[in-house]
Each structure stands twice: as C-alpha cells, then as structure tokens.
Chains A and B, each alone.
Chain A
Amino acid sequence: MVAEFWRYAGMMLTTDFVLVTGKGGTGKSAVTAALAIERARRGQSVLAIDLGSGLGLGAHLRAPNLRYRPTEVRAGLWAMTMVRAAALDEYLKTQLHVPQGAPTKTITSALNVLVDTAPGVREIISIGKPVFELWKGTWDAVIVDTPSLGQFQSYLRAPETISDLVPTGTIKRQASSLAEVLADPSTTQVIIVANPAELPVLETLEAIEAIEAEHLCPRPSIVMNRTVRSAGFTADQLKLLPTGPIKEAAEHQLSIEALQSRWISEIDVDVSLPYLMGVLTPGEVALHLADELSSR
C-alpha cells in the first residue's frame, strides 16, 4: 500500500508554511497570533498550530481552550493545539498505514515507548502534524508556534536522527519527506522572535549559526519584538529636566534605548515590533502587533 505522503512527493505545495520560534519569553505566541490574524484579515484561510505548552497561542487568539481538532477562532482563522495522544493516533492511521489485521493496539503502544525513549520520534510526530495539514492543500497558510529554540532545532534534526538509528521502515521514509519540506525555501519560512537584550540575541545568533551550518531550513527571518520606540529626546537634554518622575522616566527610557541599540547592532533585523506599554491582555497584544504588521 502506498503511504499517503508519497502522493505528495514532488507535488507543488501552494500553502505557505511559517514556523515561528525563539527564546522563551520573547513573545513567540503573540507574534504567531499576530501573523495569523494579519493573514486572515487579508482574506487568507489560515491554520495556526500551537506546539508549545506555555500560555500559548490560545490566549493570544482569545481562545484559551484550543483542542487538537482545529476550531475557527475568527473569520478565516482556525487554530489547534498539539495533543500527543491524538497526534499519535492520527499518525498511525494516516501515515504509517498499518496493514489490515495488524495489531493496532500493539503498534500504538510500541510507538508510545519510542516517543518516550527513541530520539527524534516525539519530534517527528509533533512537526509531522503541521506538515500533514500542509499536504492537504486546503489552507493558504499553516503557521506554527514552536516551543523554544532548542526544541525547534531538535524538530529540524529529527529526520536525520531517525535515519541514523533505523536503516529502513516507514518512519524513516516519512521522516525524509518531512526534511524535504522543512528545507524547501519555496514553501517554508522560519521566523525567530527575539528581544533587544543579551540572552535572546546571543541565543538567536547561536541558533542561526547551527541551522545554517546544517542546512536544515531556509535562512530564518528575525522579528525583533518588544523594541521600545525612541521617545524623541537625547541624553544631553536630560539636564534640562527638573528632578522627579519625569526625569526618572526619561533616564529609564534612554538607558533602554542605549541597551537595545547595542544588541540590535549585533543582528540583522527583518521586522521590528514595538514594546506595547500598558497593554494588559494577551489578546490585546496580538491585535496591536497584527495592526503593526498590516501597516507595513
């Protein structure tokens, strides 16, 4: 029996595949939500997938209880979250094509053991789901919120890891077609979300270096999130301000501007998104960022 994914091998994919990653705390989920909202506003049909486990995409899309089955969270925008058991089940049914009469239960349990022990298997199943959605050809864009830079790199490396461990078999074949999609610049776009601060910038640079050395995916774009906008005064004007909160806030602002530009100068920024002052909820943050993206 020909596995379903072979039917897609060599087929032109018309869906954009956007993978969003970044150091924890940089605002990956907010940026993912904003990218999805912005595309949906332009009339695209978009699937946003949360592979993480933090506050996550759901809160930023004002749909806190996302499930494995995609639900429409606003016009044209569907969202889902990774649920390991459901993904395993789907993987088994649609990808592994267990022969008729085979002991599905045994194979499910076997797969469960592998997910907990064998390198790459958990990752293949996680990153596999968004790619299956891509292959369906029903979305204009599939946008994925991935957990962290480290986790993201293990997704990218998973196909090779698996090839090293197993010489043959369905998982291996399926893993190599995943690798092709991930490395294909006409389909896949990788976005690393950073903040203009030491650890996020250094970790982003390290990740880019590793990704480029291994040719695992197209060159990532950098979204510099939480960039405090210039206030429009300079350090030599500080002495004109009387002592008190106005001057303190001005000093704080200038220290941040200086620190930011030090770290921004270390990296090529593709898109800069603002630090949103006084914005309270994740949903508001995502909408503001989507407005920023639209205005470009």
Chain B
Amino acid sequence: MTKTLIVTGAGGVGKTTLSAGLGVSLARSGHTTLVLTIDPARRLADTLGVAALDDIPRQVANEPHLHAAMLDVSASWEAIIHRYADPDVADRLLVNPYFRAMADRFPAAQSYAAAERMAEYIESGHYDVLIVDTPPSEGGIDFFLAPAKTGDLISGKLLRWLTGSSLPGRSILYRFTARPMLRLADTVLGGAMLSDVADFLLDLRTMYDQLSVRSKAIERHLRAAETVIATTADPTPIHETRRFFDELAGIKIAPTAILFNQMLPQSWIASDLTAGRLEIDDKDLAVVATRNLSLWASEARRHSVAARELSARYGLPVHELTWQVPPPTTLDDLADLVADVTVLAD
C-alpha cells in the first residue's frame, strides 16, 4: 500500500522544497519514495534529476530509495485522452484548439493532470511513499476539486444546454443550427463559436463514462492521503492557509499539520529585549549590528505570533522550519530542513 502525502499551500512558501525535503528524509528511513514536483527551481531540479523534458520518475542520484518526477500537464492530458477516448476521437481532440486551451489554461485541468498522475503512481504499487507537491491555484483548493470540476465539464451539462437534448449524439449538431435562438447568439458572439464548442464537448463527452469512474477513484485516493499545509508568516499565505482549512473542511478533508516555513530563531527575540550595549572596540559596528538584531527580532516576533495564532485556531501541530539562506538544494540540507517533522506516522 502506498502512503500518500499531499503538500499544499499558497505560492512562494516553499512547497516544492519542503516536499523534496520530506522525500529525502522518508527515503533515508528506508521507504521507497517518489516525489512528484510541479515546477522546481533550477538547482533543486538538478539535485532531484528532474530537469529532463519528460515526466518519467527517475531514481535520484546518490539517494537509492528516492525517486522524483516533474509534472508535464500537456503530456498528462495526452495520455488521458489516449487512454479514455476512441482513437479517431483522440486524434480530433488533440488538435482541437478548445481542447488545447483547456489543457493549457483551465486551472482545474492542471490540477486534474496532477491528481491523475498521483493516482497512477499510487496504483502502480512501486512506491511505499508518494509525496505530491500541488500546482499553484487561482486561490483555494483547486487540486482537491479538480476531479469534480473536470467531471462537470465533461458530463455534458453544458452540452445538454447547447443541444437541448438529454442524450446528445453527433446527429444533434444538425439540429443545433435549427434552434433560432442559438443561431442568433452565435451571430452576436461571432462566427460559429457555439457550434465549435458543442463539437468539442461532444468529443469530450464520449469519454464521460470512463472519466467519471476515474474521477471517483482519484477522489478516493485524495481522501485516503494525508494532507499538510505549508505557509510562511506573510499575510497572503496566512490568509490562504485559513481559506484552505475552511474549504478542505467543506469536502471533509482534515489537514494533519502546518509546516511553517522561513522561521527565525526565537532566541533573537529574548536577546533583543535584554541586550545591553555591545562592548566591542568598533563603536559604529556595535550600533549597526545591535540595530540589525533588533530589526530581525521584530520579524522573529511577527513569525512567532503568526505561528501561535494558526496553531491555536486549528488545534494542530505547527512545525517551525528554519529560514535558510539560500534555500537548501543539496540532499543533506533538504533533509535537515525537515528533520523534526513527523508525517505519515501510523
């Protein structure tokens, strides 16, 4: 059985770095681990060996139990289409501009691709542990809602409206042009936009039965996974964290921990308050160095307040992770960053 950990949170808080760190540390305790990354910074990608242009998991150099893969949204959707659509429909869809636009831009499409990949890796049975770094969202929990949203798009709700039929088939398009109101709408909107959309949706619709079964399976994997939320003390990620908790509660997913990244040492706060004069010969240096501690201590205080507030509000452990400059990229530094974090414990 693969145990899955989903690392979610606002953009820019270090989700990918934390996912990699947790991967290294779980691999080092003997679990065959796969980290599915979304868009790692260059040096982290180099360390994980995911700089290649495909999304095939590879063993990470010098880390025998650790494997890494990078999400390729287009490739994932092509694989989905080939798997679930008839060959002639697949050929049509893959060159359809509406399909390309959906795969490239529909926010749920990127999340769906990630969730589908996650499910494949779980079902492969190759890994003891799978760590999923989640795609950036337009705010909120896109990743968790993607199966349902994608299902809506494909379910034919829109299509039924367009064709006025409960069971649309290709012959319905003929009747489409016979509906004067839609013809007028097309004239106002331009060209044959609506009928092109209907055409595209008809093709998608042929995959509906299989994709909806698939979406249900993916949702089960999402529910069975452990979810942690990463944040920093900045107002935007804190706000997003609250939103994540609210929205996840709505779909009955309870995060198990908060990873609070980029914390400063709490010892700086006490030291700033008690610091007397710094007795060194270079008086100018004494002044600027003391003021520097004061400034960073005010940051440390802000971090500490934010972390305590979150912990109290949600009654969850907050793992405080030290702010490393530059961010860790070697395997050892990645493992060090999350050394005190316990996840996926039974």
* Same assembly: yes
List the B side residues contacting A154 at CB < 8 Å: 105
Flag B293-320 by CB within 8 Å of A: 1 or 0 each: 1011111011001000000000000000
Known: A246-B293, A259-B325. A231 touches B288 (CB 8 A): yes
What is the minimal beta-carbon distance from A13 to any residue of chain B, in angstroms? 25
Q: How far is the CA of A198 from the CA of B192 in the complex (A)?
A: 45
User: Which one of B161, B188, B189, B239 contacts A55 once the chains associate, using CB atoms below 8 Å?
Assistant: B239
List the A side residues contacting B105 at CB < 8 Å: 119, 154
List the B side residues contacting A10 at CB < 8 Å: none
Known: A117-B201, A241-B280. A171 touches B189 (CB 8 A): yes
Nearest neighbor of A55 in chain B, beta-carbon distance: B239
Q: Which residues of A (152-196) have their CB < 8 Å from a CB of B?
A: 154, 161-162, 164-172
Please count how many residues in chain B sit with their CB below 8 Å of the partner chain's CB atoms: 74
Q: Tell me if B153 counts as interface (CB < 8 A to partner A).
A: yes
Q: How far is the CA of A98 from the CA of B341 in the complex (A)?
A: 59
| A: contact size bracket | 35 or more
User: In the complex, are the beta carbons of A233 and B197 less than 8 A apart?
Assistant: no
List the B side residues contacting A107 at CB < 8 Å: 184-185, 188-189
Nearest neighbor of B158 in chain A, beta-carbon distance: A113
Q: How far is the CA of A277 from the CA of B297 in the complex (A)?
A: 9
User: In the complex, are the beta carbons of B201 and A237 less than 8 A apart?
Assistant: no
Flag A25-55 by CB within 8 Å of B: 1 or 0 each: 1110100000000000000000000001111
What is the minimal beta-carbon distance from B280 to any residue of chain A, in angstroms? 6
A-contacting 9-mer, from B61-69, B135-143, B249-257: B135-143
Residue of A232, A249, A253 with most chain B CB atoms under a 10 A cut-off? A249
Q: Tell me if A59 counts as interface (CB < 8 A to partner B).
A: yes
Q: How far is the CA of A117 from the CA of B305 in the complex (A)?
A: 44
Q: How far is the CA of A200 from the CA of B136 in the complex (A)?
A: 14
What is the minimal beta-carbon distance from B234 to any residue of chain A, in angstroms? 7
Q: Tell me if B264 counts as interface (CB < 8 A to partner A).
A: yes
Secondary structure at chain A's binding surface: helix, strand, loop or mixed?
helix
User: In the complex, are the beta carbons of A231 and B292 less than 8 A apart?
Assistant: yes
Q: Tell me if A116 counts as interface (CB < 8 A to partner B).
A: yes
What is the minimal beta-carbon distance from A194 to any residue of chain B, in angstroms? 11
Q: Tell me if B102 counts as interface (CB < 8 A to partner A).
A: yes
List the B side residues contacting A169 at CB < 8 Å: 187-191, 193
User: In the complex, are the beta carbons of B182 and A110 less than 8 A apart?
Assistant: yes
Q: Tell me if B168 counts as interface (CB < 8 A to partner A).
A: no
User: In the complex, are the beta carbons of B97 and A148 less than 8 A apart?
Assistant: no
List the A side residues contacting B11 at CB < 8 Å: 23-25, 148
Q: How far is the CA of A253 from the CA of B240 in the complex (A)?
A: 28
List the B side residues contacting A259 at CB < 8 Å: 325-326
Q: Which residues of B (259-307) have their CB < 8 Å from a CB of A?
A: 264-265, 267-268, 271-272, 275, 278, 280-282, 285, 288-293, 295-299, 301-302, 305
Q: List 9 A-B contacts (CB under 8 A).
A: A25-B13, A25-B234, A26-B12, A29-B236, A55-B239, A103-B185, A240-B281, A245-B265, A249-B293
